[in-house]
Amino acid sequence: MRVYFQPNLLIDWRRLFMGDDVKKAVDDAKDAMHEVKHRSEAEIEKAKREIAGDDMTAGEKVKSVVHEDVERTKAEIDKAKREVRDKA
């Protein structure tokens, strides 16, 4: 396979030099790590609320709940990306 340099053309080098299966595995691993990170951050936020309890103001609690939901949503997006990629 010949590869010619074209400065205006974006090339996915992983796809060019690695097979599609390897690229999928690498991307799946990255998304799985991101999913675990987001789920962990959501659990930490929930634990903060449980520990602080009444010491948190209502505004702090709302902010904490929103942050937890955002992290759980990010985790679900990473999970969905893996599922879609595996079906393709």
28: tokens are 């799946």
pLDDT of residue 24: 86
Q: Which tokens is 3 given? A: 């590869």
Residue 13 exposed, middle or buried by CB count within 10 Å (0-12, 13-18, 19+): exposed
How far apart CA 79 and CA 26 sit, in angstroms, is 14
| Banded model confidence at residue 19, pLDDT cuts 50, 70, 90 | confident
Extents of the domains making up the chain: 13-87
How confident is the model over 61-81, as pLDDT tens digits? 999 999 999 999 999 999 999
Within 8 A by CB and 6+ apart from 46, the residues are 68
pTM: 0.72
Mean pLDDT, the chain, integer: 85
> Is the model's pLDDT at 45 over the cut of 60?
yes
- What token pair was written down for 73? 């949503």
Residues 46 and 61 sit within 8 Å (Cβ to Cβ): no
The whole-number average pLDDT for the span 41-52 is 95
**Looking at per-residue confidence, does 8 or 78 come out higher?**
78
